[in-house]
Amino acid sequence: MRQTERPNFLLFITDQHRADHLGCAGHPVLRTPHIDALAARGCRFTDFHVATPICQPNRASLMTGRLPSAHGLQLNGRELSHGERTFVQMLRDAGYRTALAGKSHLQNITAVPPFWPRSGERLASESRALFPGVYGQEVARRWDENEAFELRLPYYGFEQVVLTIGHADEQSGHWRRWLRQQVPDADRLIGPDNAHPTPDWALTRLRQAWRTRVPEALYPTNYIAQQSGRMLRELAAQDQPFFLQCSFPDPHHPFTPPGRYWDMYRPSDMALPHSFDAPLTDAPPPVQWLHAQRNVRPPHFKPGHGSFAVTRQEAQEALALNFGSISCIDDAVGQVMTELQGLGLAENTVVMFTSDHGDLLGERGLMFKGGLHCGGLTRVPFIWADPLLNVAKPVRQTSALAQTTDIAATVLARAGVPPAHGMQGQSLLPVMAGQTDALRNSVLIEEEGQRLDFNMSQRIRMRSLRSKHHRLTIYDGQDWGELCDLRADPHELRNLWSDPDSQALRSQLLAELAYAMLNQTNTSPYPLASA
């Protein structure tokens, strides 16, 4: 076995995966034995939240240890500036080998014009320009139309990258090229128009699920596991410690679990969330509007990009297929862990598991994400399995409030690499070593969007303060907000914003939110001179 003074790191990350959708989280139906095994020998955080429940910005927060308002990628459609230092780059500078297999999504994956600003609304120039570098490298069309197109390496600190771009079985990048090498006319296997017929499935009529013809062995999840194993073999032969990110694009919609995973779980067996049939009388305006839209639109409703109201059948189908995708991921995790163990690296490798954000999946009768900060969207799994953490009684489960930005700080601390000035996350090592029960009293969650959602007069801009006991959410330009007592109302169904008896609490939390936003203001770069 190759010995190093510093541990290796293996990070598994999924896409749009709720914290409660794991066996180790107590789910009564979903089976995830390989991820559960990580939790059994590691530490599982039960109150771990994103910096923002949106794909690109939160992945950038993971990489930089900074909130979206600090690193500048505040909404989908922007790209992470090459001027931002990632913790992967810092590991590489400190002598680590670095690799990524799967999804990155630090740059745009389409060249479709933005919803905001519309053509003609754009000002002549920007007040903030991107740091010099190559952008647009993850646009799927570039990969599909030019077989020679490749990333400019190192890519945000990754020395080698095997890239998948997109979702479901319609992904591009290195996987699509590989698939075309394995199967003649491979493109005829992918997409809803080439899928196996599923006439009884409501989600197929919405084009949010289809039974893919791509075999399990060729599906992106298995490809990412295979490539991760290959990278591990190459890294094991070298004398330097390594960081490997194994990044799965599932269980994000559309749902296309391959082969046996499609019907591994039956929709009729799926219990809907407690809040599925909750009355709408006390729901915030976005929830009420989404249900109204579904009721007034014609029968051939097609969801857009964000959250939408679902029928009971649609919600149960989504849960069943989501679970199939997660079980497929779990088997892929097991495959990578078997490779790690076979190479003799398991005893010197810290293994992590997390996701970029959650999914409503029936909460309040809704599905997907966008413009809401309930726990199903902001709370994600986080497991840290560290065979070398030398403590007498390691903590196996903690309810300490933690956040995506903490991952960078924790990895760097474990590697003995000082954090960069301006990083806003905190190392979780003291919690896992039992030195403290909590690092903070609350987390700040941000969100910005391009669209005029929920019949609002302006695009979504919102902030939330989440503590152990409360969640406060404000929307820019709106005279309403959300205030939930998480102890008395864990499902966040009663909005106390206008409750006469809760006005003092509301004022207190608004002040705390203001101080949290001040505390998280960007401090980088340092001044270069006195004044």
Contact partners, residue 422, CB within 8 Å, separation at least 6: 66, 70, 522, 523, 524, 525
Compare 147 and 126 and report the one with higher pLDDT.
147
Q: What is the pLDDT of residues 32-66, one digit of tens each?
A: 999 999 999 999 999 999 999 999 999 999 999 99
Q: What is the pLDDT of residue 329?
A: 98
- Global pTM reads 0.96
Q: What is the pLDDT of residues 273-286, one digit of tens each?
A: 999 999 998 899 99
DSSP character string of 267-326: GGGPPPPTTTT--STTS-HHHHHHHHHHHHS-SS----SS-EE--HHHHHHHHHHHHHHH
Whats the size of the chain, residue-wise? 531
Contact status, residue 432 vs residue 386, Cβ threshold 8 Å: yes
Q: What is the pLDDT of residue 452?
A: 82
Dihedral over alpha carbons 338, 343, 345, 350 (to 10 degrees) = -40
Structure tokens at 147: 């077989």
Query: pLDDT-derived band of residue 2, with 50, 70 and 90 as boundaries?
Result: very low
Average pLDDT, the chain: 95
Dihedral over alpha carbons 325, 68, 116, 114 (to 10 degrees) = -50
Domain segments of the chain as ranges: 8-116+135-437
Q: What is the pLDDT of residue 121?
A: 74
Q: What is the pLDDT of residues 301-342, one digit of tens each?
A: 888 778 999 999 999 999 999 999 999 999 999 999 999 999
Predicted confidence (pLDDT) at residue 123 exceeds the cutoff of 80 = no
Would strands 160-165 and 442-448 be described as parallel, antiparallel, or unpaired? unpaired
Predicted confidence (pLDDT) at residue 1 exceeds the cutoff of 50 = no
Dihedral over alpha carbons 80, 84, 86, 91 (to 10 degrees) = 140
The arithmetic mean of pLDDT across residues 510-519, rounded, is: 98
- Using only C-alpha atoms, what is the Rg of the chain? 22
Q: What is the pLDDT of residues 406-438, one digit of tens each?
A: 999 999 999 999 999 999 999 999 999 999 999
For tokens 């004398």, name the residue. Answer: 239
In whole angstroms, give the CA distance from residue 274 to residue 257.
26
Residues of the chain with pLDDT > 90: what percent?
A: 89
Q: What is the pLDDT of residue 70?
A: 97
Query: pLDDT-derived band of residue 79, with 50, 70 and 90 as boundaries?
Result: very high
Q: What is the pLDDT of residue 102?
A: 98
Predicted confidence (pLDDT) at residue 124 exceeds the cutoff of 80 = no
The arithmetic mean of pLDDT across residues 382-397, rounded, is: 90
Per-state percent for the chain, helix, strand, coil, to nearest 5:
35, 15, 50
Query: Considering only CA atoms, which of 497, 350, 465 is closest in space to residue 401?
Result: 465
Predicted confidence (pLDDT) at residue 27 exceeds the cutoff of 60 = yes
307-311, 368-372, 392-396, 442-446: segment of lowest average pLDDT: 392-396
Cβ atoms within 10 Å of 400's Cβ, excluding its own: 21
What CATH number should be reported for the domain whose range is 8-116+135-437?
3.40.720.10
Query: Considering only CA atoms, which of 178, 166, 101 is closest in space to residue 138?
Result: 166
Q: What is the pLDDT of residues 80-104, one digit of tens each?
A: 999 999 999 999 999 999 999 999 9
Contact status, residue 424 vs residue 67, Cβ threshold 8 Å: yes
Q: What is the pLDDT of residue 381?
A: 98
